[in-house]
Amino acid sequence: MARTAVVERTTRETTIHLQLNLDGHGQVQATTGVGFFDHMLEQLGRHSLFDLQVSCQGDLQIDAHHTVEDVGICLGQALHQALGDKAGIRRFGHCILPMDETLVTAAIDLSGRPACVWHAVLPSVQLGAFPAELAEEFWRAVVHHAHFNLHVLLHHGRNVHHMVEAIFKSCARALRMAVELDPRIRDIPSTKGVL
């Protein structure tokens, strides 16, 4: 059974079309009008092995906030749809990821309960048209619309580009582990019988 989803969302701030395949090969096409964000979505797809297509037309004349947050909402909705009842998944995922001088840990539980614990203090700088603090806004939107736990810990780093990119890569690797099908698990991985 294909674990895929298509989400379309139109508001006065953004128009988004997003396609997701959890069992892909890391093929990504991202056109949001925010270059650094497109780069982060490419990292997310490549390191999760999700096939991801994202097209967004947003109110970039204001700033990138609505674009980034709304893409996060759509990705969260797509994850939720593609996972279905979550039968057979590993459920938990984690990654400790180094990127040059930066080290990040991400841990995920696809529990059905949204919680985002963010211990990553990022300097308030622009990465192209992408304010660094939008990394947190993006992942909070994903978490709340996909209904899972995410803990992000930035251990150390100096280069803000590296910090944000390491967060995206670490979260992607943790998601890859959590959504993976385990041949030894035949049902929903919870004593409650539901996630």
- 172 part of a folded domain: yes
Q: Is the dihedral of CA 27, 38, 9, 179 positive or negative?
A: positive
Domain range for 103 = 4-179
Identify the CATH number of the domain in which residue 63 sits.
3.30.230.40
Is 194 within the bounds of a domain? no
109 is a domain residue: yes
Question: Is 188 within a domain?
Answer: no
Residue 195, domain member (yes or no): no
- At residue 187, the pLDDT reads 94
pLDDT one digit per residue (tens) for the chain, 195 residues: 799 999 999 999 999 999 999 999 999 999 999 999 999 999 999 999 999 999 999 999 999 999 999 999 999 999 999 999 999 999 999 999 999 999 999 999 999 999 999 999 999 999 999 999 999 999 999 999 999 999 999 999 999 999 999 999 999 999 999 999 999 998 999 999 899
| Within a domain: 169 | yes
| Residue 106: closest CA among 177, 39, 41 | 177
Q: What is the pLDDT of residues 90-118, one digit of tens each?
A: 999 999 999 999 999 999 999 999 999 99
- pLDDT tens, 4-27? 999 999 999 999 999 999 999 999
- Count of domains forming the chain: 1
Q: Output the 3-class SS for the chain.
A: CCCEEEEEEECCCEEEEEEEECCCCCCEEEECCCHHHHHHHHHHHHHHCCEEEEEEEECCCCCCHHHHHHHHHHHHHHHHHHHCCCCCECCEEEEEEEECCEEEEEEEECCCCCEEEEECCCCCCEECCEECCHHHHHHHHHHHHHCCEEEEEEEECCCHHHHHHHHHHHHHHHHHHHHCECCCCCCCCCCCCCC
Is residue 170 one of the residues assigned to a domain? yes
CA distance 137 to 34: 15
pLDDT of residue 96: 98
Domain-located, residue 149? yes
**Nearest one of 150, 149, 148 to 167, comparing CA atoms:** 150
pLDDT given at position 1: 78
